[in-house]
Amino acid sequence: MMGFAPPELKQADILNIFIEGDGQPGIALKMAQDVGGDTVYIARPCQYLPTGRFNACTREVWTSHRYSQDVVDSMDLAITAMKKRFNASQVRLVGYSGGGAVASIIASKRSDVALLLTVAGNMDHKQWSDFNGSEPLTGSLNPIDFSLALQSVPQIHLMGELDDIVPGSVLMSYLSKLNRREQVKSYIIGGADHTCCWSVAVATLLSR
């Protein structure tokens, strides 16, 4: 996987970690660059590598197993490495689209997450598959199954008013499983679709 950090970043008490979405990378990277500050970016496994016999990248990594235990564990290790590199005590995990799913599952298992922020996050991939009429992600973990463990984690979830790829019903399905919502906020971003325009809202929330 690929990581990015501004060269001037040497140390951060709380580190913002942006996690890329599914498929072709770029949206979360642009958000990370727009937000700046104590911010790093992590791509998902195999996003910058083609499927081939010289690496472990397979078709399943981007289809049925895109949120598999192996993917989650790999991303979790990368987050720990970034945290150690910049001497951070806590992290804010910012996950875009499928990166929101990965960030959520990771956040349910860590004790150093100051904030989970999802942007058009796929918080229930079964609901998402049903909505899109796509093949179920049979080899993937599902964030909705970690909802109880996430109740103690501060969370903000952003939905795009015009998003017809990950609609609000996907987030609503996840929220319906929570017994407590004291730590959870959600917002609809006017004019935003799945790929545009998120940076201002994300920057505003992280600056609070």
Distance, CA of 123 to CA of 158 (rounded, Å): 11
pLDDT at 44 over 70: yes
Q: How many domains does the chain have?
A: 1
**145 vs 9, which has greater pLDDT?**
145
Region 45-52: mean pLDDT is: 75
- HEC secondary structure over 34-80: HHCCCEEEECCCCCCCCCCCCCCCCHHHHCCCCCCHHHHHHHHHHHH
Average pLDDT of every residue of the chain:
92
Helix (H) or strand (E) holding 33: helix 27-35
Q: What are phi and psi of 119, to 5 degrees?
A: -120, 110
pLDDT at 128 over 80: yes
**54 vs 106, which has greater pLDDT?**
106
pLDDT at 4 over 70: no
Confidence of residue 57 (pLDDT cuts 50, 70, 90): confident
Distance, CA of 178 to CA of 155 (rounded, Å): 12
How far, CA to CA in Å, does 10 sit from each of 72, 88, 177?
26, 10, 40
The boundaries of the domain holding residue 158 are 3-206
Does the model's pTM come out above 0.75? yes
Instruction: Write down the pLDDT at residue 196.
Output: 93
List the one residue out of 118, 188, 132 whose CA is nearest residue 160: 188
Give me the CATH number covering residue 178.
Answer: 3.40.50.1820
Distance, CA of 123 to CA of 162 (rounded, Å): 18
Tell me whether residue 119 is exposed, middle or buried, using C-beta atoms within 10 angstroms of its C-beta: 0 to 12, 13 to 18, 19 or more.
Answer: buried
How far, CA to CA in Å, does 172 sit from each of 9, 107, 108, 109, 178?
37, 19, 18, 22, 10
Question: Each residue of 133-157: pLDDT tens digit?
Answer: 989 999 999 999 999 999 999 999 9
Per DSSP (E only), the strands in 77-167 are: 90-96, 113-119, 155-160
Confidence of residue 84 (pLDDT cuts 50, 70, 90): very high
Confidence of residue 2 (pLDDT cuts 50, 70, 90): low
Region 196-203: mean pLDDT is: 95
Region 175-186: mean pLDDT is: 93
